[in-house]
Amino acid sequence: MIIIEDLVRRFGSFTAVGGISLRVNKGEVLGFLGPNGAGKSTTMKMITGFLAPSEGRITVCGHDVVEQQFEAQSAIGYLPEGAPAYPDMTPVQFLEFIARVRGLKDDAAKKAIETAIVRTGLQSVLEQRIETLSKGFKRRVGLAQAILHDPPVLIMDEPTDGLDPNQKLAVRNLIKAMSANKAIIISTHILEEVDAVCSRAVIIDKGRIVADGTPSELLARSPTRRLDDVFRSLTTPDTEIKAEGAL
Amino acid sequence: MSFWNSTLAVYRRELSGYFATPVAYVFIVIFLLSIGAFTFYFGQFFLTGKAQLDVFFGFHPWIYLFLLPAISMRLWAEEQKSGTIELLMTLPVPVMAAVVGKFLAAWVFSGIALALTFPMWATVNFLGDPDNGVIFASYFGSWLMAGAYLSIGSCLSSLTNNQVIAFVVSVVVCFMFTIAGHNMVLDFFQGWAPTFLVNAISSFSFLTHFNAIMNGVIDLRDLVFFGSLITLSLFINAVVIDLKRAD
């Protein structure tokens, strides 16, 4: 459902994504792993059409993200990093706005909003302004917005960041429950999450894929059988980059 | 999802946003107080002894100059600062639809504030026998001019994520458009610039075009001037937003 071919993204002279190719099928939950600044968010921003690729092609459900932007975007639910939402709206108003923009009308909109509210557990805060909500609820509003139109493709940038353990579990269960008939990409740097929800993990470093496989395949790469060690052996720590720069 | 559906959805969200926060009420109160103060204090409305509103309308450009950039400064700068732009631009919404929706909301809002000055109109009709045709033409011209100020402000707001910068630059640019036809400006150019350039500069003056409408003559040239200025500003606005994808 998601096909990425030789994706490159440059910001001036800096190459954030340096040639990524990926295929994500229906039923897969792909965990996007990598240190901060590895290019995870940039890649997601290109899949969702927020940033234009410098080179390469992205196809979502058969639609080229650049050529057929709106068809592709209609098939995607996206939770951007930090779950931005309009602070002056209540969750209900916000979801009504998203439903309208997504072209859902009357009964279909009402039903979609109700389902999203139940799935993300927003019932208790429906009439509060989003700016007054806790971080956990704000994240759930973002999730509700992403799953509202029941998209075949779901892209979530750090969906459990800043949540407490109970909330993390709830979000992971939600992702698992939806995974059967969707192609899902989540980015994270919480390694236990990969084990918990992902059917496949891709580790990227400095804009390139350095490992791709099921969580157990990745574990097999390390003698200690720990994902932390796999991650550390494959990626470049921040401090090392700084040390090189200082020379 | 049609263009106008998206435009309407954005427009409705934006307009209700003004009234969900104190912004609308503060703006309307300040607008009415300042326009009243100018008309009665500085304009000596009662002393002129004439049943007409040109003193009142004469202050509109100067009040708009400072108050409308306060409305337009947040249109895009705030979205870019808070990250909601990423949400908006990954929804299947054409950039131009978002630009037009936001502009329309701001324009209609300024129209509401303007309409609330109706006691002025009621007063002159109570005290004398004014030419209501001229008054309605002036109201229409004033609203059209407000649209021009707002479109310039919206365009400048898209260039920055800092609302203070958006405000200050908008006031300066709007000021230049306002006084372009003033002798002070034209004298500066008259000595050395060719006549066609001097004429071109003076033809960009809001004051000249607004004064023409205030005389009760809605000339096609004035409509075309404000209409094309709004269109051009919004077009540049959309191009700026679009360019940020590839930036």
Q: Give residue-wise pLDDT tens across range A155-195.
A: 999 998 878 888 889 889 999 999 989 999 999 878 788 88
**Would the CB atoms of B246 and A102 count as touching at under 8 Å?**
no
Q: Which of these, A188, A61, A166, lies nearest to A121 by C-alpha position?
A: A166
State residue A129's pLDDT score.
94
Decide if A86 touches B, using CB distance below 8 A. Answer: yes
Find, among A95, A130, A89, A90, the residue nearest to A116 by Cα: A95
Q: Is the pLDDT of residue B93 over 90?
A: yes
Calculate the dihedral angle through the C-alpha atoms of B142, B146, B149, B153, rounding to the nearest 10 degrees: 170
CA distance A101 to A192: 36
Residue A232 pLDDT greater than 90, yes or no: no
CA distances in angstroms from B125 to A11, A107, B132, listed in the order given: 62, 50, 8
Q: Which among A229, A226, A235, A171 is positioned nearest to A29, based on CA atoms? A: A171
B97 and chain A: CB distance < 8 Å anywhere? no
Residues of A in contact with B89 (CB under 8 A): 49-50
Which range (A69-83, A122-136, A215-229, B106-120) has the least confidence? A215-229
Contact (CB, 8 A) for A174 and A119? yes
Q: Please check whether residue A52 touches B, CB under 8 A.
A: yes
> Over the stretch B121-134, which tens digit does the pLDDT of each residue have?
998 899 888 899 99
- Identity of the residue in B83, B86, B246 whose CB atom sits nearest the CB atom of A52: B246
For residue range A45-56, what is the model confidence (pLDDT) as tens digits?
Answer: 999 999 999 999
Name the average pLDDT for chain B.
91
Copy the structure tokens of residue A167. 């909330």
Asked if B16 and A145 come within 8 Å (Cβ–Cβ), the reply is no
Which pLDDT band, with edges at 50, 70 and 90, does A238 fall under?
A: low
pLDDT of residue B218: 85
Residue A203, amino acid: I
Instruction: Judge contact between B76 and B157, C-beta under 8 A.
Output: yes
Q: Report the pLDDT value the prediction gives residue B100, as an integer from 0 to 100.
A: 97
Pairing outcome for strands A14-24 and A29-33: unpaired
Query: Which of A6-10, A119-123, B180-184 has the weakest average pLDDT?
Result: B180-184
- A134-153 residue pLDDT tens: 988 999 999 999 999 999 99
pLDDT at B52: 78
The answer to whether the predicted template modeling score (pTM) of the entire model surpasses 0.80 is yes
**Torsion angle defined by CA atoms of residues B233, B238, B244 and B246, in that order, rounded to the nearest 10 degrees:** -120
pLDDT digits (tens, 9 = 90+) for B14-60: 999 999 889 899 999 999 999 988 888 877 777 777 777 888 899 99
CA torsion angle for A218, A222, A228, A234 (degrees, to 10)?
-80
d(CA A80, CA A101): 17
pLDDT the model gives residue B208:
86
Tally of residues, chain A: 247
